[in-house]
């Protein structure tokens, strides 16, 4: 059931022009920011977007600003033509695909010398190394620090900054994020509130494979054996949730259950934390809504997943 072909826009000025034309026609605009290599999880965001807006824009851009030089920017999977086909398979399709070449090249040569400072973080992203003079970053100073922020200290700075750039270019009324990236969703929600963007951020439920693995563009890098082992993440989170429902409220016990299950399966835990759903602060005893967030490595592939527990 192929639908319309999306308009493909590469130039940011053209993108803003398109959005302003839509707004002048009183159309509500949705933005679904992605890094491409789309899967059913992304497509579910588009389906949700159609419920809120009159027109849907999808951005496809692998953001170097959220990768540190030792991370997997160079091997991040991509398949632009395949992505377009997938977008056309969604009922209603999408109106625009924004696919810029480089959102950190301002066409002025290197006006910033060696690139930005490290902002006191002590690490840099692929942007500083490339020396294009970009030096403005959005920081969500508390939410960016825990969970994924510990092992990826510049990650949320990069995410908040690219999302700000996309918001300024696309000027949407709604933006859609998957709750698989739970911390990212909360960081963006807080940023939108704190910086007074006139945009409603909508978090969408995790899409899983039939066997329970959370969908991720990085799953493609898993060997069949690693993929089998990776099921331990979702399985152990479900076990933990059942344990809570059976009365276990001590987070240490619940964490040990998950850590043991994933480790026995052959995964290496980055973190397994039970945190408040809004502040993302660690919880010792479950008294209200929390989210159990996990990051683990299988081979070289780092996967994240989470489960909300609404006690």
| Residues lying near a second copy in the complex (CB under 8 A) | 12, 16, 20, 23-24, 103, 106, 111-113, 116-121, 134-143, 145, 160-161, 164-165, 168-169, 171, 190-191, 193-198, 278-279, 281
Report the distance separating Cα 251 and Cα 254, nearest Å: 5
Q: To the nearest whole angstrom, how small is the minimum distance from the Cβ of residue 162 to a second copy?
A: 10
Least Cα distance to 266 among 210, 225, 310 occurs for 225
Q: What is the DSSP-derived secondary structure letter of residue 107?
A: S
Give me 124's structure tokens: 């840099």
Q: What beta strand segments (E) does 187-288 contain? A: 200-204, 268-276
- State which residue, 57 or 213, has the beta carbon closest to a second copy: 57
- State which residue, 81 or 136, has the beta carbon closest to a second copy: 136
- State which residue, 164 or 306, has the beta carbon closest to a second copy: 164
Of the listed 39, 42, 50, 221, which one is catalytic?
42
Task: Provide the β-strand partners of residue 277.
Answer: none
Q: To the nearest whole angstrom, how small is the minimum distance from the Cβ of residue 104 to a second copy?
A: 8
Report the distance separating Cα 262 and Cα 258, nearest Å: 6
**End-to-end alpha carbon distance in the chain:** 41
Q: To the nearest whole angstrom, how small is the minimum distance from the Cβ of residue 28 to a second copy?
A: 13
- State which residue, 192 or 258, has the beta carbon closest to a second copy: 192
Torsion sign over Cα 232, 76, 79, 54? positive
Q: To the nearest whole angstrom, how small is the minimum distance from the Cβ of residue 52 to a second copy?
A: 18
Least Cα distance to 61 among 20, 115, 108, 10 occurs for 10
Least Cα distance to 277 among 220, 170, 168, 203 occurs for 203
Give me 111's structure tokens: 């006006």
Active site residue 134: no
Q: To the nearest whole angstrom, how small is the minimum distance from the Cβ of residue 205 to a second copy?
A: 23
- State which residue, 190 or 255, has the beta carbon closest to a second copy: 190
Catalytic residues: 42
């Amino acid at each position: 059931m192929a639908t319309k072909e999306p308009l493909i826009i590469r130039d940011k000025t053209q993108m803003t022009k398109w959005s302003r034309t839509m707004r002048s026609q009183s159309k509500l605009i949705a933005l679904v920011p992605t890094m491409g290599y789309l899967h059913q999880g992304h497509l579910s965001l588009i389906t949700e977007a159609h419920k809120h807006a009159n027109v849907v824009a999808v951005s496809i851009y692998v953001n170097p600003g959220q990768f540190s030089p030792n991370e997997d920017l160079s091997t991040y999977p991509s398949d632009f033509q395949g992505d377009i086909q997938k977008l056309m398979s969604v009922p209603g399709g999408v109106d625009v695909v924004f696919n810029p070449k480089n959102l950190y090249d301002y066409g002025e040569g290197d006006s910033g010398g060696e690139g930005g400072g490290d902002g006191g973080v002590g690490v840099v992203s692929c942007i500083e190394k490339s020396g294009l003079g970009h030096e403005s970053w959005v920081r969500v100073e508390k939410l960016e620090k825990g969970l994924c922020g510990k092992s990826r200290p510049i990650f949320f700075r990069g995410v908040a900054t690219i999302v700000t750039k996309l918001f300024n270019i696309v000027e949407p009324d709604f933006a859609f994020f998957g709750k698989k990236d739970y911390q990212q969703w909360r960081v963006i929600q807080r940023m939108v509130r704190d910086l007074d963007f006139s945009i409603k951020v909508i978090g969408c439920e995790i899409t899983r494979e039939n066997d329970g693995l959370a969908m991720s563009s990085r799953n493609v890098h898993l060997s069949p054996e690693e993929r089998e082992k990776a099921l331990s993440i979702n399985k152990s989170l479900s076990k933990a949730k059942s344990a809570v429902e059976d009365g276990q409220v001590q987070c240490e016990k619940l964490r040990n259950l998950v850590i043991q299950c994933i480790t026995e399966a052959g995964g290496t835990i980055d973190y397994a934390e039970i945190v408040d759903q809004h502040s993302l602060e660690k919880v010792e005893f479950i008294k209200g809504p929390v989210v159990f967030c996990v990051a683990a490595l299988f081979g070289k592939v780092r996967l994240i997943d989470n489960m909300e527990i609404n006690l």
